[in-house]
Amino acid sequence: MNPHNAGRRAAAGHALPRRRFLQGTAGMAAMLAWPLGANAVVKESHLALPLSSSRVDTKFELTLARTQVNFTGTAASAITLNGTVPGPLLRMHEGREVTIALTNRLDEVTAAHWHGLKVPNNMDGVPGVTFPGIKPGETFQYRFDLRQSGTYWYHSHAILQEPAGFYAPLIIDPQGREPFGYDREYVVMLSEWVDTPPEKVLANLKKVEGYYNDRRQTLPDLYAELKAARSPQEREAIWNERVAWARMRMDPTDATDGGSQWRFLVHGQRVEDNWTALFKPGERIRLRLINASAMNFFDVSIPGLDLTVVQADGQNVRPVKVRELRMGNGETYDVIVKPTERKAYTLFAATSGRIGFARGTLAPELGMEGEIPPMGPRPVRSMAEMAGAHGGDHGAAPASQAALTADPHAMHGGMKGMEGMPMGDAKATDSLGDGLNDRLAYADLEALTPLRLPAGPAKKIDMRLTGDMNRYIWSINDKKLSQATFFEARVGERLEIRLINETMMEHPMHMHGAFFVVDNGKGERAPLKHTVIVKPGETITVHTSFDEPGPWVFHCHLFYHAAAGMVQAIVVK
């Protein structure tokens, strides 16, 4: 697909010299989706507006600037879009061309990355990689055709700007009818804020292992465990496990890099602000959930209501009912809930490390509040997880023989360059599925439409997720981006990628320029995702194919993991 000629200082993105590529990616290595939260200007009302109140458009103007915010009781500086954090919702329509003018009022280079959107390489928004970036005082026009629909978001891919507030939701309405029914819908962006500037946070993490971890196991803890052991064998097992953790340069409580300083937000609103979305009893409410956090997974639930998942990362899936969703950084899920009672329901998003939570409310009128449930105990890992992490909440089933497409447009009945391949039928239904799971697993996700990849053997790529928590170095195949040899592929070539997690932390791996087909045992109905959580010790197989040339970045979406080196690139020719 040929790029449009849109103020393109970046048109030569694919021929980028390696040195310039590395300079750009080193500068933007902290490029992950950091979230923040609330509007920079404190709202008098915390009432959420339904999506129907927003306008669908093809032209947007954004201005990036520094603005004072206060999320913690102390004033702090944030990077805002049109004066707010998160920035404004961009609502678009599939099949149309959009133009987005971004004016940079900062004193540093910037860019916007359209997370999950398939765009020409020089519109992908990675400074020094896909284009030079937007200099202070300049305006850059992004222009591209919309080849998909669903719930997405956009954020900075420059320097350390995302944790400072540069992120916002993006919704693309489909050309055809949705395959599920609902009465009103809301965008729910989950995020976090800490007053410490991002560059200082990264320096602290590099300076002291587990700098923000106030739950670390100490030597007195070890001595107490050894003393309480009931046998020499138990004492030896305790000692051996502690030695194993020391060799890995990690602690069993390293479930998150954040700590008590962090605040967690629902669409920019603090717990005490009580972000509220209104409903009438009996209505079907669609919630477009986005995890825009820099460093935290969220376990999302609404006590008293089942969550019916209808989309994952913007792509339609067969409806599946769950009580809870674990959302990795960068993931989106669309769910439908049906509150029948005239009462307040709490939207509860506890961090997976249980260091805090975000809270919103669904209610028939403003001012109501539901009960806030307990977060539960903080997790402590065991070495057994390394050997037994396959499967489980987010595990994929054993590798199947599926040959599936990575083009999200195929979800809507067509796929450029893939004509004649069997795509199956997608019949509209209001069914909300049968059965109920406690927590969604990738093995539960099933694409609504059967899909296929290009025929022929796949090029196989192993990506080992590696790191040293003690020195806070994260890598792919034991190499930071500056040391790595880039992977190579051809346009339209089928790739089979094994994501092998050799660390004791989850990594939400995000691909630019293409969707993953997650090999979860569903064959030709395996789901499409742009971000995949790989658990400790787990291997997940995904398939993909690129339809645009250029260097496409691939990275962990834990912001500071990417900043510390867990970034790679696939150069597509």
Domain ranges of the chain: 13-175, 386-572
- Mind listing the pLDDT tens digit for each residue in 165-182? 999 999 999 999 999 999
- Mean pLDDT, residues 446-467: 88
- The model's pTM: 0.82
- Would you tell me how many other CB atoms lie within 10 Å of the CB of residue 139? 13
- Looking at residues 364-392, what average pLDDT do you find? 73
pLDDT digits (tens, 9 = 90+) for 304-363: 999 999 999 999 999 999 999 999 999 999 999 999 999 999 999 999 988 999 999 999
Nearest to 337 by CA among 271, 440, 432: 432
Task: For the chain, give the mean pLDDT.
Answer: 82
Using CB atoms within 10 Å of the CB of residue 553, give its burial: 0 to 12 exposed, 13 to 18 middle, 19+ buried: buried
Query: What value does the mean pLDDT take over residues 253-276?
Result: 85
Which has the closest alpha carbon to 38: 272, 337, 218? 272
The fourth-level CATH superfamily of domain 386-572 is Cupredoxins -  blue copper proteins (2.60.40.420)
Residue whose tokens read 């920035």:
87
Same fold, 13-175 and 386-572: yes
Token pair in block for residue 144:
């591209």
| pLDDT above 80 for 433 | no
The beta-strand segments (E) located in 105-204 are 112-115, 139-145, 150-156, 167-173, 184-193
- Rounded Cα distance between 160 and 563, Å, is 8
% the chain with pLDDT above 70: 77
- Region for residue 133 given its phi and psi (left: phi exceeds 0; alpha: psi -120 to 50; beta: otherwise): left
Position 567 scores a pLDDT of 94
Q: d(Cα 41, Cα 532) in Å, to the nearest integer?
A: 34
In this prediction, residue 397 carries a pLDDT of 38
> What pLDDT is recorded for position 3?
31
Options 3.10.20.440, 2.60.40.420, 1.10.1040.10, 3.40.50.10740; CATH of 13-175: 2.60.40.420
Distances in Å between the Cα of 157 and the Cα atoms of 9, 30, 169, 277, 445 are: 17, 7, 15, 31, 29
State the pLDDT confidence band at 213, using cuts at 50, 70 and 90.
Answer: low
The full DSSP string for 226-292 is: HHH-SSHHHHHHHHHHHHHHHHHT--TT-S-S--TT-EEEETTB-GGG-EEEE--TT--EEEEEEE-
8 pLDDT above the threshold of 70: no
Residue written as token pair 């954004």: 62
User: In this predicted structure, what is the pLDDT of residue 20?
Assistant: 42
Residue 220's CB: how many other CB atoms inside 10 A? Answer: 8
Q: Where are the alpha helices (DSSP H) in 7-60?
A: 18-27
Tokens for 372? 């806030």
Question: Is the confidence at residue 241, as pLDDT, over 70?
Answer: yes
Radius of gyration of the chain (CA): 23
Residue 436, pLDDT > 80, answer no
Which of the residue ranges 329-338, 476-485, 503-512, 547-556 would you say has the lowest mean pLDDT? 476-485
pLDDT of residue 27: 39
* 3 state DSSP class of 157: coil
